[in-house]
Structure 1
Amino acid sequence: MDRRALLIAGLAAPVAAQTPPPAGKALPGPAPTETIDLWPAGAPGAPATLPSETVTERSTDPGRSDRAVAGIVRPRLVVFRPVQPNGGAMLVIPGGGFRHVVVDKEGYELGRWLAARGVTAFVLFYRLPGDGWAAGPDVALSDAQRAMRRIRHRAAAFGIDPARVGAMGFSAGGHVCADLAARFATSTYAPVDAADALPARPLLAAPIYPVVSMTPPLAHPGSRTLLIGDNPALEAAHSPHRNIPADAPPCFLVHAEDDASVPVDNSLVLRAALRARNIAVETHLFTAGGHGFGLRGAVGKPAAAWPELFLAWATTQGLVSAA
């Protein structure tokens, strides 16, 4: 779809009341209030017994929240609008090992950081593969594809260019991000409205310390169990590096060498697969950072450089203006 058609598609109808963000501590900084439900008529393929959404506050710091949301039934986007939007947008996909979605340190903090730099950010609350949805291991990818299309469908309302929408994900959310980069064109759900005529391919993708391989010993055991169970026959289909198409978007990879949870070789096999397809890939490996550092956990470590490195690279890819 060309740029003109995307811009026309952005003139969407008003949206009804949406599912709110989860409650949390009253912290400094703007609290998000604007959300977009991905599936206004309800997410497809619901299990007979729906999970119950729960929010667990894991932080012991009274000045900082670290919420984990499980049992997501109403997948949605939480919106962070810049004061002065530059036309670029990012879908932000938090991690959580497919057990829950870590909304603060790998979601809201990135949303605020991007918005402060003029990028409209959409934090994704996605369904989890262990909750019995009919899409099974494709359920989070379905939500990511639908999210890209919903963002583009409403681009005019947010002052963004629908051709300049990227995706960023962390850990298990990095798997979803890499899967979106690899299988954006794969049909994982039946179209439900006009938004589904729009492309799901991101302008660029940034899997950050991503879970990639589903094959031991590289596979993160917990993520593998919840995504594909003990089924080696599903490993290839759900290992993004084994499904890179010739038109995959350029990628930005970040990993710490001392990551004890998700081996750094997950990023390296993804990088090799991208290069084999002649897809542009920028890779930053840091000596220290551990796993799950996001923004807050990288402070004082070599990995602290990654956000500005990403912004500089994203500018060269056209996500934000160089002016």
Structure 2
Amino acid sequence: MDLDRRTLMTSGLGFGMAATSGALAQAPGVGTELKDLRGTTLPPETTEYVDLWPTGPAGLLKSELSEVVKTAPTPPPRRLVNGVIRPRLAVYRPQKPNGGALLVIPGGGYTYISVDNEGHNVGRVFSAQGLTVFVLYYRLPAEGWAQASDVPLMDAQRAMRLIKARAKDFQIDPARVGVMGFSAGGHLCASLATGYGAPVYGAVDAIDAQDARPYLCAPIYAVISMKPGLTHAGSRSNLVGANASEEITARYSTENHVTPQTPPAFLLHAEDDGAVPVENTLAFRAALKAAGVNVETHLYPKGGHGFGILSPAVPWSDLFLHFARQQGLYSQTNAL
């Protein structure tokens, strides 16, 4: 059944990076009250974190690398994290779990991770609707790692496998774990959806026997391609290099790797996005359609870039929940 719904709705990466820094990204937001677009108070920011790698990740070439948190001064304050050396998941457990789960990957141009508007806020919104949500703190490729271009995908694959391996503890169905990503995190989301079986790292324990394929994917205003003129220049520079060869460019352009086995997709973009051209989403949609993959597409004329999940100008969380329920990510909900 073709579940494609392409809609146009009425409705930039433009925040400064000056501010404070700190050692732990979760501390500034714990206890901060947050409301959804209906005015309902959301669950608090989680304090539960799970490390991805049992003895830490391999391949660090810069011993001086350390995690830094900066706060964007534009309202609302957002934490921007880089220097991640302890890849981990922030876990949002719902009061009434419906069995579905979602791995959430914040963006930041592969320069930093925007952990609030594209991470914790997403966890707080969707956990309130019964989904168990995992926000990924992943390694950044330009910070001194071996196999630099693949370290984000290593962490994303490992995260999906860990979530499935601990399904009983998390009270989820291991067969129903989706992935959502924003901007460069949307590129990582699409990379996982198309490259879940890519041999980017060797197994370290029994967790790596799990299948890393997501049940569905949701790249939101995503960097899909690394092709010059289509990609986001900063993401390309950080992931593969500004002067990457045509071969490398093609390898990390996710629209080239869609197959009939790629999971169903929910796509969302604003047409006035000045940072990541909407043509990225259209290219991924075209590849999904050509492969016969179910895809639902929502385009807003206005909204810019980086609007996250709580912008009243671009309300989309219920659209995703409807799609996820149609696809079977969960069968009962207190959301709709």
Q: Equivalent of 2:205, from 193, 216, 219?
A: 193
Give the secondary structure class of the aligned counterpart of 2:250.
coil
Q: Alpha-carbon deviation of 1:50?
A: 4.4
Counterparts of 2:289 and 2:149 in 1: how far apart (Å)? 26
The aligned counterpart of 1:24 is: 28
1:48-59 equivalence runs, <5 A: 48-59=62-73
Greater Cα shift, 158-167 or 44-53 = 44-53
Change (3 A) 1:67 1:20: closer
**Correspondence for 1:150 among 162, 171, 182:** 162
Structure 2 residue 176 is matched with structure 1 residue 164: yes
Work out whether 1:312 is the aligned partner of 2:322. Answer: yes
Bigger shift: residues 89-98 or 243-252: 243-252
For 2:165 and 2:275, how far apart are their aligned partners in 1? 37
Structure 2: which amino acid aligns with 1:310?
Answer: F
In the TM superposition, structure 1's runs of 4+ consecutive aligned residues that sit over 4 Å from their partners are none
* 1:89-119 deviations in Å (ceiling 9; x for gaps): 0000000110110100000000001100000
**1:3-18 residue pairs with structure 2 within 5 A?**
none
**Equivalents in 2 of 1:277, 1:60: separation in Å?**
41
Query: Structure 1 CA distance, aligned partners of 2:332 and 2:147?
Result: 40
What SS does structure 1 have at the residue aligned with 2:89? Answer: strand
Separation in structure 2 between the aligned mates of residue 289 and residue 20 of structure 1, nearest angstrom: 31
1:243 Cα deviation from its structure 2 partner: 1.1
Q: Residue 56 of structure 2: which of 36, 42, 50 is its match?
A: 42
Partner of 1:231: 244
What is the distance in 2 between the residues matched to 1:159 and 1:309? Answer: 24
Gaps of 5+ in 1: 1-18
Please, what TM-score do these two structures have when normalized by structure 2?
A: 0.86
Aligned Cα RMSD in Å? 1.4
Distance 1:278 1:321 in 2: 24
| 2:129 corresponding residue in structure 1 | 117
The one of 257, 270, 274 equivalent to 1:256 is: 270
* Aligned-partner Cα distance in 2 for 1:31–1:314: 23
Structure 1 position 47, deviation (Å): 1.2
* Structure 2 residue runs without a partner (length 5+): 1-22, 34-42
How far residue 80 of structure 1 moved from its aligned partner, in angstroms, is: 0.6
* Partner amino acid, structure 1, of 2:201: Y
Tell which has more relative contact order, 1 or 2 (C-alpha 8 A, sep 6+): 2
Contact 2:177 2:329 in 1 (8 A): yes
Percent identical? 52
Q: Which amino acid aligns with 1:185?
A: G
